[in-house]
Amino acid sequence: MVEVRIRSARVGDAPVLARLRCEFKCEDEERAVPDRDGFVVECTRWLRDRLAGGRWVAWVAECDGVVRGHVFLQRVEKIPTPFPDRTELGYVTNFYVQPGYRGHGLGRALLDAVTEHARDHLVDTMVVWPAERSAALYRRAGYTTPTELLELALTDEA
Ligand SMILES: CC(C)(COP(=O)(O)OP(=O)(O)OC[C@H]1O[C@@H](n2cnc3c(N)ncnc32)[C@H](O)[C@@H]1OP(=O)(O)O)[C@@H](O)C(=O)NCCC(=O)NCCS
């Protein structure tokens, strides 16, 4: 029986989160990583800074004390208004569970932790760019297709 725990990520999780980030980005990728160790060092530094405080928050899923998955939220500030209002937007990203641990609800539990945090912190709207296969999971967790949002996809420009 595996003991599962969802908890907030800490600065000390940065090295494992950097390794998992590399796994995530290499999944379904045919290109070889030019410098895996160098990437993990740089990514660890980046994550340490972000997890130390500021606009990024993250959660990890531990199985028997080992981090097997994670999700990140960037809380984007809205400009103050003179009326009571929700003060932030939430950008959900870097959502990953290691292949051997998928399909047991870890992903859903991570998304629920993000949503609970967002509700408590007056986040107005959460946005995510889902992978094709993950869209159904987001929908089950309450996400819907936007009706008002416009996007300008600059990567489509020649
Ligand atoms: C998305 C992901 C984090 C879900 O983790 P999980 O612990 O398996 O999630 P749950 O067990 O709570 O839910 C399972 C659901 O995830 C989705 N899913 C299953 N395999 C998936 C995959 N390889 N990639 C994306 N989503 C997947 C399905 O909707 C599945 O539901 P189903 O079994 O009814 O089809 C995990 O599959 C993953 O890391 N996928 C690869 C990375 C990815 O696509 N991340 C999302 C980017 S927006």
* Chain center to CA of 136: 16
Q: Work out the average pLDDT over 132-141.
A: 97
Q: What is the pLDDT of residue 158?
A: 65
Which spans in the chain are helix H?
Answer: 14-26, 36-51, 106-120, 135-140
Contact 106, 45 (CB under 8 A): no
Pocket test for ligand 1, best of 62, 112, 137, 143 (most atoms within 8 A of CB): 137
25 lines ligand 1 (CB under 6 A): no
**Closest approach atom of ligand 1 to CA 140:** 29
What is the residue-averaged pLDDT of the chain?
96
Interval 56-81: pLDDT, tens: 999 999 999 999 999 999 999 999 99
pTM of the model: 0.96
In 3D space, the residue among 86, 66, 65 whose CA is nearest the CA of residue 77 turns out to be 86
